[in-house]
A and B are shown apart, each in its own frame.
Chain A
């Protein structure tokens, strides 16, 4: 597996790393009728990126990441309903709330490992789900929270009915987050997370405060997940209980595994392929589309543990060997 980062890795941005951004901008001009799907994909890429930080680097397996996504989503919605329609305030509030929740829950669950940890992540999501379900006055319960309107971003950019502003807004937030995650991954901190994933016991033996490292990465990851959740609320002007469900956590893992875990760009490729395919299959074969997704995942897990990017890596390697 090819993980980015470490003490001899060149951290400068390579030309090919601009490709996703060029592609995203191209889509903006070339496919104006798909911008809302595009915004959703960008949001899920951000969510997958947050998971990659703890799963791909820290080696923490979680089925509860939607707890932080949902928290960000609900807080952004509540801020819009009760406080202010300024998007950046809602965004920051959502990210902050998710980060605090990540810190508190991380301190509890990261004392455990393996199956116990997995169960605890599920438990946290269930609790969050129930809270959102019961606190109807705040969250709208099963009906969800909608009917709020947002002010122009920074008073300048108004959300339009074609989703143009929303798309560029998502793109800008994703870009900033990518830049941050990339910095982290290439930093000594990121390298130490790789050490924890590769050999937790040895990391202790070289004097690394493993638990604190994991809590820190978990908090950062939760913050980014909250950011993604807040984006979803703001771009769809609605938030419902599914933002907190297990299904979303599961789908997220599927997307990341599909793209490739622990390599930053797997989080880009996975959601893109998964959601575009889902959109296509759902239109063509409304009854069977899940079958197609499932088959694809089985193939990836059986034959390409590195995901789509792993397949591409192997292909390039083979071509080089031949020439």
Chain B
């Protein structure tokens, strides 16, 4: 059985700076996997390589067993890989429902159509609205994204990725910058995601990580420090020193 996503010896340098060093990583099908590590460890860079935004300096990326290292973002999205961004990357002046519909239309293959009005593509509109409903955003569908609270914007960020019906979903700090009053909603949404989606989540909030993940990989200075179950990670002394200790001190 192939892993949903796998890397072999993945490296990335920005000039003299090494941000990823020989990362061997497996995301199993249907996994709930967290990637943690201190600021600047290279977590976002890792996701950028997985999603095809950055080319790795060396190494391989396999999606469901297929080598996708040379493929661009578009081709990887077609193969079921979707991601969200640490800093919201939304279509700010578009409506909330359009934000999702842009993604749904690309996946459904109708985004090139020129002659019928977009509104006539009921399946795109309905699917986008249904997604918004599961995220509790029905009321906000017609607002411009810029008018939403930051917490709701983070939900739209997730909704766009879900509009691609991914098999592998990469979440880069979905609750970052959200006040606790609103982050609860994001947690509920994460818990309710379909089981068959393999999820890799980057998160600094340890409560969230230990509640959500069944497997954790710790990254420090571009290297995998340790990977294991939450219990193993919680018991590891080195992790405490360089990461957990520093945070909880």
* A residues with CB within 8 A of B: 1, 3, 5-11, 183-184, 186-192, 194-195, 198-199, 201-209, 213
Contacts and interface: CB of A to CB of B under 8 A. Distances in A.
A190 B98 CA distance: 12
B118 interface: yes
B106 A7 contact: no
Interface string B118-153: 110100110010000000000001100000000000
Given A7-B118, A188-B112, A192-B102, 14 more contacts: A7-B105, A8-B98, A11-B117, A187-B113, A191-B101, A191-B105, A199-B90, A202-B85, A202-B89, A205-B73, A205-B77, A206-B163, A207-B74, A208-B102
A195 B94 contact: yes
Contacts of B90: 199, 202
7 contacts: A7-B98, A7-B124, A187-B114, A187-B118, A204-B73, A205-B83, A206-B160
B160 to A, nearest CB: 6
A205 B89 contact: yes
Contacts of B141: 8
Interface of B: 51, 53, 73-74, 77-78, 82-83, 85, 89-95, 97-98, 101-103, 105-107, 110-119, 121, 124-125, 128, 141-142, 160, 163-164
B164 A198 contact: no
Nearest to A12: B117
B98 to A, nearest CB: 5
Contacts of B85: 202, 205
Counting chain A CB atoms within 10 Å of each CB, which of B117, B128, B141 scores highest? B117
Nearest to A7: B101
B93 A201 contact: no
Contacts of A206: 77, 82, 102-103, 106-107, 160, 163-164
Given A208-B74, A208-B106, A194 B91 contact: yes
B105 A192 contact: yes
Nearest to B78: A207
Contacts of B142: 8
Nearest to A191: B118
Contacts of B118: 5-7, 9, 11, 186-188, 190-191
Contacts of B94: 6, 194-195, 198
Given A1-B93, A192-B102, A7 B114 contact: no
Nearest to B141: A8
A9 B119 CA distance: 7
A3 B92 CA distance: 13
Nearest to B112: A189
A3 B91 CA distance: 13
Contacts of A8: 95, 97-98, 119, 125, 141-142
Q: Which 10 A-B pairs have the closest CB atoms?
A: A207-B77, A11-B117, A198-B91, A7-B101, A206-B103, A195-B102, A202-B89, A186-B117, A189-B114, A6-B98
A188 B105 contact: yes
B127 to A, nearest CB: 10
A205 B98 CA distance: 16
A205 B51 contact: yes
Given A188-B105, A192-B102, A202 B91 contact: yes
A107 to B, nearest CB: 17
Given A7-B119, A187-B113, A198 B101 contact: no
Contacts of B89: 199, 201-202, 205
Nearest to B73: A204
A151 B136 CA distance: 64
Nearest to A6: B98
Contacts of B116: 187
A204 B48 CA distance: 12
Contacts of B117: 9, 11, 183, 186-187
Contacts of A189: 111-114
